[in-house]
Amino acid sequence: MKRVNKLLSVFAAGVLFAGALAGCGGGKDAKQDAIKIGGCLEMTGGSASFGISSKNGIELALKNVNQKGVLGGKKVELVVADNKSEASEALNAMQKLISQDKVVAVIGPNLSSACIASSAINNAGKVLAITPMGTNPDVTVDPKSGKTRDYNFRACFIDPFQGTVMANFAAKEMGLKRAAIMIDNTSDYSKGLATFFKENFIKNGCEVVSEEAYLQKDTDFKSTLTKIKATNPDFIYIPGYYQEVGLIIKQAREIGLNIAIAGGDGWDSAKLPEIAGKEALNGTFFCNLYSPDDTSDLNKNFVAEYQKMFNAKPDVFAALAHDSAMAIVKGIEDAKSADPAKVAAAMAKIKDLQGVSGAITFDDKHNPIKSAVIIEHVDGKQTFKTKINP
């Protein structure tokens, strides 16, 4: 018996090593005629839904592109590497895409911290990375030198704009006067939105009556909410992510806080109605980059095809990843080459590229200039409320 165990363990170790070694040989037998773009995406971990939607959006974009091909009929294919929703793993995945898979350009990551960490790799490798949703200003601009990073782009607008949009919307369109803010203290994104919301809300002659903080993965918010209720606000601003926001909204309604609640694009997930409950979501708004109910023809086609392919409504990650892929394809066509550095140079010059989330023009900081939408939850469904131009 002892001998069998020993053999078994040797065998198990052998199998594992064989698997590991097989990995070393990968990526060399790639087809020469296909142009590869990488997806450094959140396939597992805390933000897995971001990465999966993005992947779907890119696949749809490439399916349409590949009907006629680029650069005289060449196919474009997507290689996905999982960044596990974490910065050092994103760097690892980015390195793999660039040095193993030799991609022309990379889409992702979606998390700002992962973008900033991996920017060192893709700038050294002279391969562009476009983040669908990394909203932190430092993603495309090096904070130390204040210079734009040559090979980093984004398809979304930056944080300050969202906070400003929501403050103006709440004060002017909804006529609200007393806001409470709940900040996710583990997230820079949340802090950034809150700062700009507060500044602009006060500028509109309104008042911020309380400011509370929570941490990611917290599950009980009732004591915080009771404290907020005591300050008698007519509006709560929660620029957080959907897991906690869902629970906060649910618990707010449970303690009888039936006022308007609003937030940023971190709310955008099909899971939010599941977590919060459909009824609790009535009277909640968020600012987003994209709404599937947008009435442009391009978007209508995109939504129809997406529903056919994936049997779900596209979310903002899908739409922006789709537009990111379109921008890269446009870059390849404009550069008339699949050389990564030339594609990056061509991308920086893109003007008025029609995407499903609006027209894309990159400014000198590689940020697109585009409009924002306000979305309201009605019976658990996201409905397009209004569009606000920059």
Which spans of this chain sit near another protein (rule: CB under 8 A)?
5-6, 8-9, 12-13, 16-17, 19-20, 22-24, 26, 43-44, 80-82, 84-88, 91-93, 95-96, 98-100, 112-113, 116-117, 120, 136, 138, 143-144, 185-188, 191, 215
- The minimum distance between CB 228 and another protein, in angstroms, equals 21
Give whichever of 212 and 294 is closer to another protein, judged by the CB atom. Answer: 212
- The minimum distance between CB 36 and another protein, in angstroms, equals 13
Amino acid, single-letter form, for residue 111? L
Give whichever of 13 and 270 is closer to another protein, judged by the CB atom. Answer: 13
- The minimum distance between CB 288 and another protein, in angstroms, equals 22
What are φ and ψ of residue 110, in 5° steps? Answer: -90, -25
The number of residues in the chain equals: 390
- The minimum distance between CB 357 and another protein, in angstroms, equals 26
Residue with tokens 């509109």: 204
| Strand, coil or helix: 348 | helix
Radius of gyration of the chain (CA): 22
Tokens read off for 62: 């490439």
| CA 267/CA 208 separation, integer angstroms | 21
Give whichever of 6 and 278 is closer to another protein, judged by the CB atom. Answer: 6
Q: Taking Cα atoms as reference points, which of 216, 264, 250 lies closest to residue 372?
A: 264
CA distances from residue 205 to 170, 181, 227 in whole angstroms, order as listed: 12, 16, 24
Give whichever of 182 and 353 is closer to another protein, judged by the CB atom. Answer: 182
Cα 95 to its chain centre, rounded Å, is: 21
Give whichever of 6 and 222 is closer to another protein, judged by the CB atom. Answer: 6
Give whichever of 85 and 284 is closer to another protein, judged by the CB atom. Answer: 85
Q: Is the dihedral of CA 344, 349, 354, 358 positive or negative?
A: positive
- The minimum distance between CB 352 and another protein, in angstroms, equals 33
- The minimum distance between CB 23 and another protein, in angstroms, equals 3
Q: Taking Cα atoms as reference points, which of 354, 311, 347, 316 lies closest to residue 329?
A: 347
